Every structure is written in C-alpha cells, then in structure tokens.
Amino acid sequence: MKKKIDQYYIIYERDEKKGYIASAPAIRGCVVYGKTLKEAYKNINVAIKECLEVIREYRGNLPKETIRPEIIKKVSFVKIPEYA
C-alpha cells in the first residue's frame, strides 16, 4: 500500500530587512524566516515536517489544505526549485 503524501502551499513574503518570511497557511503557526528565498524554502520544509510530526503525535489528523490550486496559479511569482 502506498503512503499518501500531503502537500501544503507555502506563501513567501518580503520583510523590511529584505529577507523572506515563509508560511504554510494550512498549518497554524508554521512560519519561518530566511535571509534568502533559498534559505526560507529550506527552513519552511523542515518546519512543515516538524509541525506534522507533532500534530500526528498529539492529534492524529493532519490539517487539510485550505488554498485552492486555481488561485495559486494566478498569484505564484517564482518556482522555488529554481532557487533551491
């Protein structure tokens, strides 16, 4: 049996120090900072994994994605693998 892999959208925002704030809106409190987009990408991936481990341990049910894919296509500005 294949294990289902959940995917979560990530939002990147520039801050006043020219760094990046990355968050996964479907996972409450999953927010990180990176000086570069690449660093923010790496940090949010680690944070998502750690948040999901805690959620699985204490609650069991993983959060459902709240953003519709058709909206993301309209607002996406960069493909992260180009930077990672």
Higher pLDDT: 18 or 84? It is 18
Q: How does pLDDT run across 15-58, given as a tens digit for each residue?
A: 888 899 999 988 888 999 999 999 999 999 999 999 888 888 88
Are 12 and 24 a contacting pair, CB within 8 Å? no
Are 27 and 16 a contacting pair, CB within 8 Å? no
**Residue ranges of domains in the chain:** 11-82
Is the pLDDT confidence value at 69 over 80? no
d(Cα 9, Cα 20) in Å, to the nearest integer? 16
> 11-82: what CATH class?
alpha beta
The verdict on pTM exceeding 0.95 is no
SS3 content of the chain, % helix, strand, coil (to 5): 40, 15, 50
SS3 of residue 36 by DSSP: coil
